[in-house]
């Protein structure tokens, strides 16, 4: 289920103004103040923290789709962003217990080194909500399990305490960049390519009219478009969610330049989903266990978002498993099994691309909803690609015959684009921006040389 109510890269509502954020943080401050007064037996205008009720229901329903926020959920949300928006908000928990000359352990909170302030922990949240009421604490420990939607969607993360011997309630509550971006700008955070996030945002300025493929291939791509539009509705309305795994998995196979990456980009543009092309050179590691960690970062970030994950040259990860000869082979096969499980559990669209279908492990291939063959274009298709790729702002010399060129030279769409680039650059130097036949033939020759062929 997607958490953020975001369509075509923008939220359904405007991001809250600074005054709104300040109002919510003041609301949280009032709750904390009330909890401390009640805990220490001081006079308070409130008999319970729940009496603080903000009038912000419209914002929650607009920004978070199909989610009813409880009072406790709202406290968690704004407590997580407090260190970013108002670091001094938690300074009240610095107060010392005079009996032990140290901070109150029940307050939780972790002292950050750089911030020189306190970061909230799960203990802090529990204290704010229930003070020293054990039954309430048990209730909220169950409520805020790791399956809670704010944790499961990675909008808020629980960072485990440094010492393994400390209880999990000492985990620090951290607002993700996704949540901060949502609150500040009302849109989903777009992570930048890095070693910790080895994926690039894939876009295209072209349209479906520019994609030239066989009719059968286009029909299979249409099936993917239909799943994106209706897949979740099908699972819910036909009561299939318990019987069919979520998500959709497709294998694109065929020679380079035949439209695999282009098709993935067009699917994202058509649906408004972000497409991320995974850099497998940074994912696969020779060190045992590192590949799993790298993959986990990708899948955890993508979970519950409208992302299409595109694994290009997927053989490196999804290739045939080796016979177990040593410990390294055994761990390599475990990584493949781990990947298979993550792919099956992903609730969005995953596309794998490879030059040869035979390179992909059959254990993966059986689990794909579609296997789409991107053939080398035939003569008729090549002619359309030549015609679509050349700019309308250039013109052809009298000796250019694209029909003959299409029939004589078997080239992929990517190679044709390279030839058009070469010819167009030469045409820019000429009056009238003419494309000559000899330039096209030279461009073809260059492409053939890359493949060890001759004209």
Report how far residue 171's alpha carbon sits from residue 76's, in angstroms, rounded to the nearest whole number.
13
Residue bearing tokens 């015959």 = 401
pLDDT along the chain (455 residues), means of 10: 41 62 92 95 94 77 73 94 92 84 84 81 95 94 88 86 83 90 76 79 91 93 93 89 88 93 94 88 66 79 84 74 48 64 86 84 79 94 95 94 96 95 94 92 94 74
Q: What angle do CA 166, 138, 125 make, to 5 degrees?
A: 65
Q: How many CA atoms are closer than 13 Å to the CA of 183, on its beta-carbon side? A: 23
Q: How many CA atoms are closer than 13 Å to the CA of 332, on its beta-carbon side? A: 17
Report how far residue 137's alpha carbon sits from residue 126's, in angstroms, rounded to the nearest whole number.
6
CA 64, chain centre distance (Å): 17
DSSP state of 169: G
Output the six-digit token pair for 393.
Answer: 């702002």
Residue 65 phi/psi, 5-degree rounding, is -80, 135
Which domains, from first to last, does the chain contain? 6-185 (no CATH), 199-373 (3.40.50.300), 379-450 (1.10.8.60)
Tell me: the pLDDT tens digits for 4-49? 443 344 444 455 678 888 999 999 999 999 999 999 999 999 999 9
* Predicted local distance difference test score (pLDDT) of residue 434: 94
- The three-class DSSP label of residue 248 is strand
* Predicted local distance difference test score (pLDDT) of residue 72: 94
* Predicted local distance difference test score (pLDDT) of residue 16: 63
Longest dimension (CA), the chain: 97
> How many helices, marked H, and strands, marked E, lie in the chain?
18, 16
Contact in structure between 153 and 3 (CB atoms under 8 Å): yes
Residue bearing tokens 């298709």 = 381
Contact in structure between 401 and 437 (CB atoms under 8 Å): yes
Report how far residue 251's alpha carbon sits from residue 401's, in angstroms, rounded to the nearest whole number.
36
Output the six-digit token pair for 360.
Answer: 């992909």
DSSP codes of every residue in 17-51: PHHHHHHHHHHHHHHHHHHHHHHHT---S-SSGGG
In total, the chain counts a number of residues equal to: 455
Output the six-digit token pair for 273.
Answer: 């989903």
Report how far residue 92's alpha carbon sits from residue 130's, in angstroms, rounded to the nearest whole number.
17
Interhelix angle 122-130/18-40, rounded to 10 degrees, is 70
Question: E strands, 283-348, where?
Answer: 307-311
E strand or H helix at 202 = strand 199-202
Alpha carbon distances (Å) from 444 to 380, 382, 410, 424 = 18, 13, 10, 14
Report how far residue 29's alpha carbon sits from residue 78's, in angstroms, rounded to the nearest whole number.
10
* Predicted local distance difference test score (pLDDT) of residue 46: 94
Contact in structure between 349 and 309 (CB atoms under 8 Å): yes
What's the whole-model pTM score?
A: 0.70
CA 420, chain centre distance (Å): 34
DSSP codes of every residue in 228-261: HHHHHHHHHHTT-TTTS-SSEEEEEESSTTSSHH
Output the six-digit token pair for 140.
Answer: 């909220």
Radius of gyration of the chain (CA): 28
Report how far residue 148's alpha carbon sits from residue 140's, in angstroms, rounded to the nearest whole number.
11
Report how far residue 361's alpha carbon sits from residue 352's, in angstroms, rounded to the nearest whole number.
12
Tell me: the pLDDT tens digits for 312-360? 887 766 665 544 444 444 545 566 677 778 888 888 999 989 888 887 7
- The three-class DSSP label of residue 323 is coil
DSSP state of 319: B
H helices of 257-289, where?
260-271, 280-283
* Predicted local distance difference test score (pLDDT) of residue 2: 42
Alpha carbon distances (Å) from 182 to 2, 3, 15, 104, 154 = 14, 11, 7, 34, 13
* Predicted local distance difference test score (pLDDT) of residue 259: 94
């Amino acid at each position: 289920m997607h958490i953020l109510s975001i369509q075509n890269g923008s939220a359904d509502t405007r991001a809250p103004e600074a005054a709104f954020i300040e109002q919510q943080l003041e609301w949280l401050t009032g709750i904390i103040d009330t909890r401390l007064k009640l805990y220490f037996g001081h006079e308070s205008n409130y008999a319970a923290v729940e009496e603080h009720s903000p009038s912000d229901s419209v914002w929650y329903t607009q920004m978070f789709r199909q989610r009813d926020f409880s009072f406790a959920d709202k406290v968690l949300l704004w407590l997580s962003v407090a260190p970013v928006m108002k670091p001094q908000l938690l300074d009240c928990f610095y107060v010392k217990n005079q009996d032990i000359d140290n901070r109150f352990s029940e307050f939780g909170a972790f002292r950050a080194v750089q911030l020189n302030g306190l970061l909230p922990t799960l203990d802090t949240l529990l204290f704010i909500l229930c003070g020293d009421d054990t039954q309430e604490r048990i209730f909220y420990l169950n409520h805020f399990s790791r399956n809670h939607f704010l944790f499961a969607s990675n909008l808020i993360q629980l960072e485990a305490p440094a010492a393994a011997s400390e209880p999990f309630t000492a985990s620090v509550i951290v607002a993700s960049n996704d949540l901060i971006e949502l609150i500040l700008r009302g849109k989903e955070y777009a992570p930048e390519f890095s070693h910790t996030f080895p994926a690039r945002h894939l876009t295209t300025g072209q349209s479906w009219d520019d994609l030239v493929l066989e009719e059968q291939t286009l029909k299979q791509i249409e099936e993917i478009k239909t799943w994106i539009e209706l897949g979740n509705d099908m699972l819910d309305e036909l009561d299939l969610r318990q019987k069919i795994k979520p998500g959709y998995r497709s294998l694109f196979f065929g020679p380079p330049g035949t439209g695999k990456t282009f098709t993935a980009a067009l699917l994202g543009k058509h649906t408004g989903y972000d497409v991320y092309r995974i850099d497998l050179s940074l994912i696969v590691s020779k060190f045992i266990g590192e590949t799993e960690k790298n993959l986990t970062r990708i899948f955890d970030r993508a979970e519950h978002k409208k992302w299409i994950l595109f694994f290009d040259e997927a053989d490196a990860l999804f290739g045939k498993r080796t016979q177990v000869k040593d410990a390294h082979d055994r761990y390599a096969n475990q990584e493949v099994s781990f990947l298979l499980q993550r792919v099956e559990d992903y609730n969005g669209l995953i596309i794998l691309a490879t030059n040869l279908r035979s390179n992909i492990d059959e254990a993966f291939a059986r689990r794909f909803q579609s296997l789409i063959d991107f053939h080398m274009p035939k003569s008729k298709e090549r002619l359309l690609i030549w015609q679509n790729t050349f700019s309308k702002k250039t013109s052809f010399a009298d000796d250019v015959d694209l029909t003959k060129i299409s029939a004589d030279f078997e080239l992929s769409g990517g190679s044709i684009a390279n030839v058009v680039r070469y010819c167009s650059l030469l045409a820019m130097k000429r009056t009238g921006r003419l494309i000559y036949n000899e330039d096209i033939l030279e461009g073809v020759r260059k492409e053939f040389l890359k493949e060890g062929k001759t004209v």
